[in-house]
């Protein structure tokens, strides 16, 4: 396990903050050992939380052209038939995964194929489980087209804490299943839209492991 490149600046700033605040605490409150010790413990826990958030586990996807793999770690909070209005403009099966601050926040491509469509949407920062977060929050929409023509859409959605979405794809790009697609900083969500005839392999409240868990199997 290593640290993801998106975390270098945040971890550096957090480490600097810990050093400065502990230095100031010892300078101004040198006669209050209980206070300086308490702050040292609290600040180190804060730094540890930041570091663990940007961890990068080593995961190798089992490539299967019929499988749609989970693009992120988290918990399945939605499985339902919906009308997708941005790209398909028709019915699809939606699988939504909520990512808590303690999850790995790397995003992976759920299938291999060509990036048929990509768009970034600035927006609000509603809590990630809010029903309108999929259409009103800061988000990206990516559509991958497999070699057999099947298309899968997925959205990175910012949460109440997440205020920066990072992506590494562009329209026309060929991507491998399980390759890194992007990163969402802090609490967030990913929605995946699959064909109605896809065989769903997860249930509500299931925990997903990004790049490993099979969400659905294509016909």
Please give the pLDDT value at position 86: 94
pLDDT in tens, 73-83: 999 999 999 99
pLDDT at 41 over 70: yes
Q: Quick one: tokens of 204?
A: 């509500």
CA 202-208-211 angle, to 5 degrees, is 110
31 — pLDDT class (breaks 50, 70, 90): confident
Catalytic residue among 43, 133, 134, 188: 188
Mean pLDDT of 170-193: 91
pLDDT at 161 over 90: no
- Contact criterion met (CB below 8 Å) for 161 and 186: yes
Residue 74 in 3-state DSSP? strand
Mean pLDDT of 23-29: 90
In sequence order, which residues have a C-beta less than 8 Å from that of residue 177 and are 6 or more positions away? 61, 63, 64, 65, 67, 69, 109, 110, 111, 112
Walk across the sheet containing 67-69 and list its strands. Answer: 67-69, 214-217, 199-200
* Residue matched to tokens 């770690």: 73
Which class is domain 67-217?
mainly beta
CA atoms of 184 and 24, how far apart (whole Å): 33
Q: Is 188 a catalytic residue?
A: yes
* Residue matched to tokens 């028709």: 90
CA 38-44-49 angle, to 5 degrees, is 130
* Residue matched to tokens 């957090």: 14
Q: Which residue has the higher pLDDT, 142 or 53?
A: 142
pLDDT in tens, 104-134: 989 999 999 999 999 998 876 565 555 555 6
> Which of 46-60, 107-121, 154-168 tops mean pLDDT?
107-121
CA atoms of 95 and 102, how far apart (whole Å): 21
Q: Where are the domains of the chain?
A: 2-56, 67-217
Please give the pLDDT value at position 127: 58
Q: How far separated are the first and last CA of the chain, in Å rounded?
A: 35
Least confident of 17-21, 166-170, 183-187, 203-207: 183-187
60 — pLDDT class (breaks 50, 70, 90): confident
Q: How many Cβ atoms from other residues are within 10 Å of residue 64's Cβ?
A: 14
Q: Quick one: tokens of 137?
A: 């929050």
Please give the pLDDT value at position 187: 66
């Amino acid at each position: 396990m290593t640290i993801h490149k998106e975390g270098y600046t945040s971890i550096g700033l957090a480490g600097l903050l810990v050093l400065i605040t502990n230095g100031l605490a010892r300078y101004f409150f040198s006669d209050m050992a209980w206070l300086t010790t308490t702050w040292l413990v609290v600040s180190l826990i804060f730094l540890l939380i930041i570091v663990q958030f940007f961890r990068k586990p080593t995961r190798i996807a089992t490539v299967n052209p019929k499988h749609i793999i989970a693009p992120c770690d988290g918990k399945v909070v939605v499985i339902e038939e919906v009308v997708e209005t941005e790209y398909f403009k028709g019915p699809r099966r939606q699988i939504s995964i909520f990512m808590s601050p303690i999850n790995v926040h790397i995003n992976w491509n759920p299938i291999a194929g060509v990036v048929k469509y990509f768009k970034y949407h600035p927006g609000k920062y509603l809590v990630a489980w809010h029903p309108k977060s999929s259409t009103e929050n800061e988000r990206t929409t990516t559509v991958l087209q497999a070699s057999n023509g099947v298309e899968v859409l997925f959205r990175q959605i910012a949460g109440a804490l997440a205020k920066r979405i990072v992506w590494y794809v562009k329209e026309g790009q060929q991507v491998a299943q399980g390759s890194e697609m992007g990163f969402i900083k802090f609490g967030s969500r990913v929605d995946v839209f699959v064909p109605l005839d896809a065989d769903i392999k997860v249930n509500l409240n299931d925990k997903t492991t990004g790049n490993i868990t099979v969400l659905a199997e294509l016909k």
